[in-house]
Structure 1
Amino acid sequence: MRIAIFTETYLPQINGVVTHIKILKEGLEALGHTVLIVTADSKTRKHYIKDNVLHCPAHNLKRIYGLDLASPVSRSRLHYLREFNPDIIHVHNEFSIGLSGMAIAKILHVPVVYTLHTMYDDYIYYIAPKPLVPLTKKLSHRYFRLFPKYANVVTGPSKKCQEYTTEIGSDKKVEVIPNPVELDAFSPQTSTPEQREEIRKTFGIPLDATVACFVGRLGQEKSVDVLLKFWAEEMKKEDNMYLLIVGDGPEKPKLEELAKELHITDTVIFTGKVMHPELPPYIHTCDIYVTVSLSDTNSISMLEGMAGGLPVLQLYDELNADQVRDGVNGYMFRDAKEMGARLRQIRDMDKDELDKLKTSVIQSVKNSGAETLANYIQTIYYQIYKTVPPKKSPILHLSGLLSQNGFRHK
């Protein structure tokens, strides 16, 4: 099959969506499919294809995750897609490139798969002051309904995606397909004891200490402030436990200041930005992955930790409760006291017990690689390609797609 994947963000940028798409592309190509990535690129002034990626001219929005935003309407883009002649269009983002994918699918009479990655209600604070959040939320729901409405199939990595689509007023069923992880890249064998020791020495962490880590972009939605407060409440210097916060983001200065106010700077360390290829040794120098974020659907950073053998401690989230199974790949906790107890439980395991748990953790993600994801998605592609013939309705251009749903083009 010929598959066009539409995404606002792609390599060399790194985030969960990019990692998902990169792994999906590799898996589909290994199965013999031809994949074209269509993405926004603020570094180009004209459309061009290189290495099966269609780069679309865009503007960079530094305030909003550094997102590149392209025009949703482009004759050049449509020309390239006509030449590519896709069997399936797969939309992974909901902004200009995502809109473009939905409109081009209508023009070319091609079925659409839409993957929802993000719970956007948790990100409204990026664009709206607090008094305008309710109105912005209402308008955003109206807008985001477009995507499940015009997709043949909707997928998402968590049950939370179904909750969100229902919340925005869509009755479309969400097929839950868990996120993938680069198993080989994060296997414990990919780093050396010397690399791990060097990281500990760099940050002044004793070699015999137990280290918990959180990896991710330091935005408000990740609730790292809650993690720091839990840590301050439960963990003492004499516990010989450290917390490594790996990543950067707009909240980093505030979080560092909060750590000072909580008097935990002797056991909490901020590494700053770590490039993705350099991340595995940081994972492997740690012993536990911990998160209190309730905005994630199926955190790829968490899965990378699991691939590295780190048992996960996750704040209980009913719709994500099946992702961490007590005693198999980690433990759920409901408050600071329970988090502290679980941290100390893992710290106090003897070597045989800990090795057994780490083996179980790695085993729990062994089916989360490129091949598994591609096979899941391939099944969906074949189903809609065979059972949902391209619609012979009149061409619906982007302006029509918007106006049908109450949006006025000026």
Structure 2
Amino acid sequence: MSTSFAPHPPAATRPAPSGGGRRRTRVLIGTDTYPPDVNGAAYFTARLARGLTEHGVEVHLLCPSPTGRPHVVERHGVVEHRLRSMPSLAHESVRLALPAGVRGHLNRLLDRLRPDAVHIQNHFLVGRMLAGAAHDHGVPVVATNHFMPENLFDHLRMPWSLRPYAARLAWWDLNRILGRVEHVTTPTPTAARLLREQGFIHPVEAVSCGIDLDRFRPPPEGSVVAERLRLRARFGLPDRPTMLFVGRLDEEKRVDELVRAVARTSDVQLVLAGQGAHRERAEELARAEGVAGRVRFLGFVAHEDLPNVYRCADVFTIAGIAELQSIATLEAMASGLPVVAADAMALPHLVEEGRNGYLYEPGDPDALADRVETVLATERERPRMGAHSRLMASRHRLEDSLDRFAHIYVDASVGALASFSGGR
């Protein structure tokens, strides 16, 4: 199993099939979720697609229409092929592509585009339909896995008693679809190991989702305190020690644990940036714990304002136990924040104990509160911890991830051409 995060040489061009000259690599990315959807997989796919165009790759994207009406539009250099869709019963912000008529559309699209590779971001509707069509057209398929059953159960209102059986079925289905593709990636070595533990027998490469280190960065040295004060006022936050969480307020994020931890501190406030089905529950819990005045809900934060939210905080906290990487944690680290995270799934990859933060046992808000107060109490050590967070985040440069994916597409395409030539 490969787990390398090392950069690879750019691979945005390949020999033209006719043998004369070179042309841009062309990739067709398929996904069930893409902006304006609000979730980690959608944001990753958007960063990937738009970033690849800047690396010389011609990118086409297949995804559900946000309005239901099929159409084609170009945004940020990416040609979006939007499929007819219907509302999803699982999540208000996600729509489902309607399978009727899609196969014929995919056949025509693949015939016209002749992509060097197809890259699917899930194994649900769009991913499996596109992978099947690509195989029939001799186009190699790359797949990135962002899936864990725990991230869907709450949206599907799955009874607890059925979840173990549903999880086994979901992993079997994933193995069946991904077992036919030419190259599988997932964001971290832990996520790759999880696939192996669930019976996936093929090679898996860990390729970080990547982080934009220019966009997410600490305030200039010497202006940290003033900038923090200014931004807190802008977002309507009191000037007090602040722990921050950015992400969906849904079951698997375990925001209740963060609220309970705040109640066990003396003067810390919790800022929650995001929206989700559990916001009302978190508000009720804050009132029940007597800390309603110290739990602040920012709701949805616009993309361009997100870096400023991190600059408001003293420490980033995350309690989720189903994180395959956690882009929000990487963004916080790139912004120079110490981290206190649950010791679960891929989060330990992002914490070096005592150097950029601390881990705590999931389900123990007392331990979480203790770690937060340890970070906040070390006034002189916090800048050092934040600097180490930034250093760790620099190992996940978005440019390196984009280079690697561009290289994977060319390798997959060359392998497919070699197989075709060998079979003639």
User: Offset of 1:250 from its aligned partner?
Assistant: 0.4
**2:179 aligns to what SS in structure 1?**
helix
Q: Find the partner of 1:118 among 147, 166, 184.
A: 147
Of 30, 38, 51, the match for 2:54: 30
State the Cα distance separating 1:274 from its structure 2 match.
1.7
Q: Which amino acid in structure 1 is aligned with residue 295 of structure 2?
A: V
Is contact 2:153–2:163 with CA below 8 Å preserved after alignment? yes
Q: State whether residues 111 and 390 of structure 1, in contact with CA within 8 Å, keep that contact through their aligned partners in structure 2.
A: no
One-letter code of the match for 2:337? L
Moved more, 143-152 or 245-254: 143-152
Identity over aligned pairs, percent: 26
Residue 279 of structure 1 and its aligned partner are, at CA, apart by 1.6
CA deviations 1:198-217 (Å, max 9, x no partner) are 5534676443x221101110
- The answer for the alignment partner of 2:232 in structure 1 is 200
Q: 2:207 — aligned with what?
A: 177
Q: CA deviation at 1:391?
A: 6.3
Deviations 1:151-178 (A, max 9, x none): 1111111234234423543212321112
Question: Does the alignment pair 1:359 with 2:387?
Answer: yes
Alignment pair present for 1:40 and 2:64: yes
Residue type at the aligned position of 2:141:
V
Q: Tell me which residue corresponds to 1:397.
A: none
Match of 1:9 in 2: 33
Deviation at 1:119, TM superposition (A): 1.0
- 2: CA distance, partners of 1:248 / 1:359: 29
Q: Is the 8 A contact 2:186 2:206 kept in 1?
A: yes
Q: TM-score, length-normalised on structure 2? A: 0.83
Change (3 A) 1:341 1:129: closer
Amino acid paired to 1:175:
E
Q: Secondary structure at the match of 2:275?
A: coil
**How far off its partner does 1:218 sit?**
0.6
Name the counterpart of 2:406: 378
In the aligned structure 1, how far is the partner of 2:166 from the partner of 2:93? 21
- Confirm or deny: 8 A CA contact 2:38 2:93 kept in the other structure: no
Residue pair 2:138, 2:416 contacting (<8 A) in 1 also = no
The one of 304, 307, 322 aligned to 2:334 = 307
Extract structure 1 runs of 4+ deviating beyond 4 A: 189-196, 202-205, 388-392
Q: CA RMSD in A?
A: 2.5
CA contact (8 A) 1:306 1:365 kept: yes
More displaced, 162-171 or 245-254?
162-171
Task: Give the TM-score, by structure 1 length.
Answer: 0.86
Shifted more, 171-180 versus 376-385: the winner is 376-385
Change (3 A) 1:361 1:137: closer
Preserved CA contact (<8 Å) 1:109 1:390: no
Structure 1 residues 193 and 375: alpha-carbon distance in aligned structure 2, compared to 1, 3 A threshold: same
Q: 1:387 to 1:202 in 2, by over 3 A?
A: closer
CA distance in 2, matches of 1:62, 1:274: 24
Counterpart in the other structure of 1:274 = 301
Structure 1 unaligned spans of 5+:
393-410
2:104 to 54, 58, 75: 75
Quote the Cα distance in structure 2 between the aligned partners of 1:360 and 1:298. Answer: 18
Structure 1 residue 389 displacement after superposition: 4.2
Whether 1:230 and 2:254 are equivalent positions in the alignment is: no
Taking the aligned partners of 2:398 and 2:321, their CA distance within structure 1 comes to 26
Q: 1:188-267 alignment to 2 at 5 Å?
A: 188-189=218-219, 196-197=228-229, 199-201=231-233, 205-207=237-239, 209-232=240-263, 234-236=264-266, 240-267=267-294
In the aligned structure 1, how far is the partner of 2:300 from the partner of 2:346?
30
- Structure 2 SS opposite 1:74: helix
1:114 partner amino acid: A
CA distance in 2, matches of 1:69, 1:167: 29
1:402 corresponding residue in structure 2:
none
Cα distance in 2 for partners of 1:328, 1:251 equals 32
Contact 1:205 1:242 in 2 (8 A): no
Residue of structure 1 equivalent to 2:22? none
Q: Which runs of 5+ in 2 are unaligned?
A: 1-24
Look up the SS of the partner of 1:66 in the other structure: coil
Could you give the per-residue CA deviations for residues 270-300 of structure 1, whole angstroms, max 9, x where no partner exists?
2222222222211101111001111111111
Q: Is contact 2:231-2:311 (8 Å) kept?
A: no
Give a deviation string over 1:371-408, Cα, whole Å, max 9, x none: 1111222232233333344766xxxxxxxxxxxxxxxx
- 2:360 matched to 1:333? yes
Q: Aligned partners of 1:56, 1:193: CA distance in 2, in Å?
A: 48
Report Cα offsets for 1:97-132 as digits up to 9, x if no partner.
Answer: 111221121121111111001212442242233343
**Contact 1:109 1:391 (C-alpha < 8 Å) held by counterparts:** no
Conservation of the 8 A alpha-carbon contact between 2:68 and 2:86: no
- Is the deviation greater in 220-229 or in 357-366? 357-366
TM-aligned CA deviation for residue 32 of structure 1: 1.6
Measured in 1, the distance between the counterparts of 2:354 and 2:256 equals 27
Match for residue 74 of structure 2 among 43, 50, 54: 50
